[in-house]
Amino acid sequence: MEKILVLDFGGQYNQLIARRVRDHKVYAEILPYTTPIETIRNNGYKGIIFTGGPNSVYDMQSPHYTKEILDLGVPILGICYGCQLIAWMGGGEVKTAPVSEYGKIEFTAKESLLFKNINEKSTVWMSHTDYISTPPNGFKIIGTTDNCPCAAMENKKKSIYAVQFHPEVTHSQFGSQMLYNFLYEVCKCSGNWVMDSFIEDTVQKLREKIGDKKVILGLSGGVDSSVAAGLLSRAVGKQLTCVFVDQGLMRKDEGDFVEKTFTTLFDINFVRVNCQERFLKVLKGVSEPEQKRHIIGTEFFNVFWDEIRKQDELGYFAQGTIYPDCIESGKGDADVIKTHHNRVNTPDDVEFLGIIEPLCDLFKDEVRRVGEKLGIPKELVWRQPFPGPGLGVRIIGEITADKIKVLQEADWVLRDEMSKNGYEKNLAQFFCVLPGVKTVGVMGDHRTYDHLVAIRAVTTDDFMTADWAKIPYDILAKVSNRITNEVEHVNRVVYDITSKPPGTVEWE
C-alpha cells in the first residue's frame, strides 16, 4: 500500500493534514519528529510532509530533525514550521519577520508542479511570526505575499517543496489542489486507498487471525464500536459476542434502537445489560462534573467485566479504537500516547488471546464511510458526538431518574423537530441540557415553578473551535413551544449563544 508520512513537529493541524491526504485516496500516517531516520528509510514512503508547529527553528530547544532526511530521495513537502525547518536544515536563513502574517493573505504563485492548475493569485491561510529571509542553495522561490518574499520554495531536482501557509485548511483557496499535486505530480501516487478494498482486506485479515476462536466486543452504540461490530460480524459471524451496557443515560429509546439494529442486521450474539438503578445508586448525591465522569466510567467497566466473566470461553477482545486514539503526538513528550476512552485495559483476572482493533488505521470520517458500505443505519453511522458518560454530563448537578426522563423527552422533541424541518444537516452537533435551574412560569392560569431547558447547537469543521449555530427564530420558537407543551415539568427554554472558545461544546 502506498503511504505518505506526516512527520509531526507539534502542529495543531497534524491530523487534518493526514485526513486531507486520505481524501485524495492516498494513505497517510502520522509519526512524531523523534522517529529514527532508519524507520523512515525502511518504510518505503512515497512522500513525507513536515507539519507546522509553534516554535522557532533557530531555538535549539525546538523540534528538529537530521539533515539526512533531505537526501533520502523521497519527495518532501514542508508546511509552515516545516517550511522553515527545510530552509534551516538546508543552510538557509530564518529570522523573525518584520511583519507577522495571520489569517487570510493574498498569495502569488509562480510556475511549479506544486501549483499546477492553480490561479496565479489566490487566498491562503497564514499563521507565522518567523520567515525565510534567505532560501537554501538549490532552492528557488515559487511564491510570495506582500510581506513574505519566500512564501513558497522548491528544489525540483530533489523533489523538495515548502510553503509558509497551511494548504490543509479550507481557508486556503487552492490548498486541496496543492496537496493533490504533491501526491500525484511529485510523489507519483496512484490513489489506491479506498474503502471497498479496506473492507475486503480487513475482513480477510480478521478471519486469518481469529480462526475458529471467539471475539468479545464492548458495544456502546456509538459510531466506532458499531462499525467495528459490523466488520467483525462480516468476518466471523456468530463467533462474535457484543456486550451492550445500557446504564440508562442514553437518549430516549436509544438502547432499544441499538438492540434492534444489531439483532436484526447482523448474525451475532448480542447481550444487553440494563443497569440504570445500579448507576443511580452510585451517583446519588454527586454533583461535581469530574467525579460524575469518573464514577460513570468506573461503574461502566465494572458492569462490563462482570458480564465478561460469565462467558464460557474467552477468545479475543475487540475495541473500537480509531487512529486519533493512538497517535503519538509531536507536542512536548512525543513518547507519550494520548489516552482515550476507546482504548481500555483488561483486568488481571480476565485473560484474552489478544486485542483486535479493526479500525485503528482510520479517522472518524473514514469510519463513517465504512459503516455506510456495511449497511449500518444512517442513525448510527452519522450519530453526532455523544459524551462517554451520556446524559450524565448534560444534567448539571445530581443525576436522578426524574431528571433523566425530562432531559430525554426534551432532547427527543428537539431532534424530532430538526429532522422534520431538515435543518439538522446544517449543524455539527445539537442537544438539550438540564442546567438544574427552576423558574417561575404560568400554565393554564396557574403559577408553576419548574425546570429550565437549554438548547445547545454548534457549527464546526473540526470541533477544535465552534460557532453557535444561527438557527432561524421560527424554528427555535416551534421547538420551544413543543418542549414546554409536550414535556412535563418544563416551563422555560433558553438558547446558548456561546462559541468555542471561550465556552466548550458540552456544558460539563
Q: Cα-flanking dihedrals φ and ψ of residue 113, to 5°?
A: -60, -35
From 2, 24, 80, 187, the catalytic residue: 80
Bridge partners for 131 per DSSP: 95
Chain centre to alpha carbon of residue 225? 14
Q: CA–CA separation, 190 vs 308, rounded Å? A: 45
Q: CA–CA separation, 396 vs 461, rounded Å? A: 27
Amino acid residing at 116: K
Spell out the residues 6+ positions from residue 1 whose beta carbon is closer than 8 angstroms to its own: 27, 192, 193
Q: CA–CA separation, 44 vs 34, rounded Å? A: 18
Q: Cα-flanking dihedrals φ and ψ of residue 238, to 5°?
A: -65, -10
Bridge partners for 293 per DSSP: none
Alpha-carbon separation of residue 359 from 217, 243, 269, 413, 474 (angstroms): 13, 18, 21, 33, 42
Torsion of CA 74, 80, 81, 85, to 10 degrees: 40
Q: Residue 127's closest CA among 99, 93, 165?
A: 165
Quote the strand ranges of 33-115, DSSP E: 47-50, 76-79, 93-109
Q: Residue 106's closest CA among 174, 54, 178?
A: 174
The grid cell for 131 is 520567515
189 is catalytic: no
294 is catalytic: no
From 2, 101, 154, 168, the catalytic residue: 168
Peptide bond into 289 cis (omega under 30): no
242 is catalytic: no
**Residue 338: count of CB within 10 angstroms of its CB:** 12
From 148, 166, 189, 432, the catalytic residue: 166
Q: Are 69 and 77 in contact (CB under 8 A)?
A: no
Q: Residue 232's closest CA among 271, 262, 258?
A: 262
> Which DSSP category does 45 fall into?
-
Helix 223-236 to helix 254-264 angle (10° resolution) is 20
Q: CA–CA separation, 85 vs 63, rounded Å? A: 9
The grid cell for 437 is 435551574
Q: CA–CA separation, 344 vs 61, rounded Å? A: 34
How crowded is the C-beta side of 327, counted as CA atoms within 13 Å? 24
Q: CA–CA separation, 359 vs 488, rounded Å? A: 42
Q: Are 226 and 380 in contact (CB under 8 A)?
A: yes
Chain centre to alpha carbon of residue 257? 24
> Which DSSP category does 135 fall into?
P
**Active site residue ranges:** 80, 166, 168
